[in-house]
């Protein structure tokens, strides 16, 4: 299922030997349908990995036939040699699938700086088996989802059914670079008949409401990529409104899976700001709170430390009266009108922690998902590359 739930897609995985664990590390998603329409969004980090530089160019015309993804190396800051590796990956895949190299997108994830001769050799050597498997057993969506895992503990996949068409998808990572090597890579597929500009509009709406609101540690990856391909194999011209809603649902589902599997997290934190002048300001406040190490460490200690919430509200540009802020932790109003409210010991903690902030400055709201700051986070990220 996963990316092969919609008709017109083949997917497969193989082990190229990029990961010390010896688990599968190379994946392919091949659009075999009539349409080759594609849309993609990439990291806004100005230092981008070679596969991102390549795929941005290759997808600019709204057409792509295949995506090759590897874990075990980010191929980022590896110079022109690294770019040539990405290029060679696309060329070789194109040969094997009998398509154009500029219709092959490439995604990489793993350690920055890894992308040398050995990395190149192993990927190129792994491609024939990958293409062969995709042709012999095309329904390899689950295998592909497993091959892109890095520190993920479970594969992330999604399926949705619309009016006579389907949407499928797979994801890895925990949002941003964060934590560790958890670049977010997402491939979404559909057999609905939609052109590239319709896919692009739907994808931008869906990502803005899902992946963009997951901010586990404030760090932005050099490799983040979300790709949406349409095979048109349903023959059904989808209603764009319904499709966008369904795609958003699928992306929210994957976002939730990324959130609860964030590396080193002890609590899944949901921060909603209400009563804001605008949605943008609500999101700014929720994000500022979600990026406070003091707040995140307090949640790890199950301490409903509302002072650290209000202090973060104060560094934003949002409209509010400093005397009128309310904060609840899991429904308990611990801060009312910027003063102590209910006894913080009334707050019951669980894996999921919901923090609600009311600015009393309007009617807009916005939610950001984050994780707590834990010993595991420090441990995993201090001991990662060496």
Q: For 154, which DSSP code?
A: S
Closest CB to its own copies among 157 and 381? 381
Residues 64-83 interacting with its own copies (rule: CB under 8 A): 74, 76-79
If you write DSSP's letter for every residue of 166-228 in order, what string do you get?
A: EEEEEEESSSSSTTTT---EEEEEE-SB--HHHHHHHHHHHHHTTGGGB-SSS---SS-EEEE
Q: Which of 102, 186, 310, 369 binds its own copies (CB under 8 A)?
A: 310
Choosing from 312, 328, 329, 366, the residue that interacts with its own copies (CB under 8 A) is 312
Minimum CB distance to its own copies, residue 225 (Å): 15
Is residue 3 close enough to count as binding its own copies by CB under 8 A? no
CA distance 253 to 255: 5
Residue 78 CB, nearest distance to its own copies (Å)?
Answer: 6
Question: Out of 15, 151, 183, 255, which one is annotated catalytic?
Answer: 183
Q: Which member of 303, 349, 360, 367 binds its own copies (CB under 8 A)?
A: 303
Total number of residues that touch its own copies (CB under 8 A): 65
Tokens in use for 374? 């834990």
Place of tokens 């202090």: 311
Of 131-160, binders to its own copies (CB under 8 A) are none
Which residues from 202-221 bind its own copies, rule CB under 8 A? 217-221
Task: With H, G, I as helix, E, B as strand and everything else as coil, classify residue 354.
Answer: strand
**CA distance linking residue 109 with residue 173, whole number of Å:** 9
Establish if 45 lies at the interface with its own copies (CB under 8 A): yes
The tokens for 16 are 């190229």
Going residue by residue from 172 to 191, which x/- string records binding to its own copies, judged by CB under 8 A?
A: -----xxxx-----------
Calpha distance 372→296 (Å, rounded): 4
Give, as ranges, the residues between 88 and 127 that touch its own copies (CB under 8 A): 111-113
C-beta of residue 46 within 8 angstroms of C-beta of residue 85: no
Q: Which helix (H) or strand (E) holds 11?
A: strand 9-14
* Interaction between residue 276 and its own copies (CB under 8 A): no
Q: How far apart are CA 304 and CA 334, in angstroms?
A: 8
Order of strands, sheet of 156-161, starting from the edge strand that comes earlier in the sequence: 37-42, 225-230, 185-190, 166-172, 156-161
Q: Of the candidates 71, 93, 207, 305, which one interacts with its own copies according to CB under 8 A?
A: 305
- Give the annotated binding-site residues for substrate: 150, 172, 183, 263, 381, 386
Q: How far is CA 186 from the centre of its chain?
A: 6
Give the annotated binding-site residues. 150, 172, 183, 263, 381, 386
183 is annotated as an active-site residue: yes
Using rule CB under 8 A, residue 2 touches its own copies:
no
Is position 273 an interface residue for its own copies (rule: CB under 8 A)? no
CB of 378 to its own copies, least distance (A): 5
Binding-site member from 30, 48, 92, 287 for its own copies (CB under 8 A): 48
Residues 346 and 332 sit within 8 Å (Cβ to Cβ): yes
Crossing angle between the packed helical segments 293-300 and 279-290, to the nearest 10 degrees:
60
**Which residues of this chain interact with its own copies, rule CB under 8 A?**
44-48, 74, 76-79, 111-113, 177-180, 217-222, 291-294, 297-298, 300-301, 303, 305-308, 310-316, 320, 322-323, 325, 335, 337-340, 344, 373-375, 377-379, 381-386
Q: Which residues are catalytic?
A: 183
């Amino acid at each position: 299922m996963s990316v092969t739930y919609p008709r017109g897609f083949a997917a497969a995985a193989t082990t190229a030997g990029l990961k010390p664990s010896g688990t599968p590390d190379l994946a392919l998603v091949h659009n075999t349908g009539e349409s080759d329409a594609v849309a993609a969004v990439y990291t806004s980090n100005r230092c981008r990995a070679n596969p991102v530089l390549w795929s941005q160019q290759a997808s600019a015309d709204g057409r792509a036939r295949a995506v090759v993804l590897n874990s075990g190396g980010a191929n980022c800051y590896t110079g022109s040699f690294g770019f040539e590796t990405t290029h060679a990956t696309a060329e070789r895949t194109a040969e094997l699938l009998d398509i154009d190299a500029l219709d092959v997108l490439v995604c990489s994830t793993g350690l920055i700086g890894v992308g040398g001769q050995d990395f190149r050799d192993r990927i190129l050597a792994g491609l024939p088996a990958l293409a062969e498997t995709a042709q012999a057993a095309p329904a390899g969506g689950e295998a592909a989802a497993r091959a892109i895992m890095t520190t993920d503990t479970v594969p992330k996949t999604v399926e949705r059914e619309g009016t006579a068409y389907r949407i499928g998808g797979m994801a890895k990572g925990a949002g941003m670079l964060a934590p560790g090597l958890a670049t977010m890579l997402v491939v979404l597929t559909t057999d609905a008949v939609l052109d590239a500009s319709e896919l692009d509009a739907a994808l931008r709406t869906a990502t803005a409401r899902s992946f963009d609101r997951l901010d586990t540690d404030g760090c932005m990856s050099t490799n983040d990529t979300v790709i949406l391909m349409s095979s048109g194999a349903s023959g059904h011209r989808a209603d764009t409104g319904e499709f966008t809603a369904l795609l958003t649902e699928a992306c929210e589902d994957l976002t939730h899976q990324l959130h609860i599997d964030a590396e080193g997290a002890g609590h899944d934190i949901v921060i909603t700001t209400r009563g804001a002048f605008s949605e943008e300001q609500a999101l700014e406040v929720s994000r500022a709170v979600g990026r406070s190490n003091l707040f995140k460490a307090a949640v790890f200690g199950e301490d409903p430390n509302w002072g650290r919430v209000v202090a973060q509200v104060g560094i934003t540009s949002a409209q509010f009266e400093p005397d009128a802020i309310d904060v609840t932790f899991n429904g308990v109003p611990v801060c009312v009108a910027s003063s102590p409210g209910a006894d913080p010991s009334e707050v019951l903690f669980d894996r999921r922690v919901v923090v609600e902030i009311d600015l009393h400055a309007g009617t807009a709201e916005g939610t950001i998902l984050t994780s707590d700051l834990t010993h595991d986070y420090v441990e995993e990220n201090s001991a990662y590359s060496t």
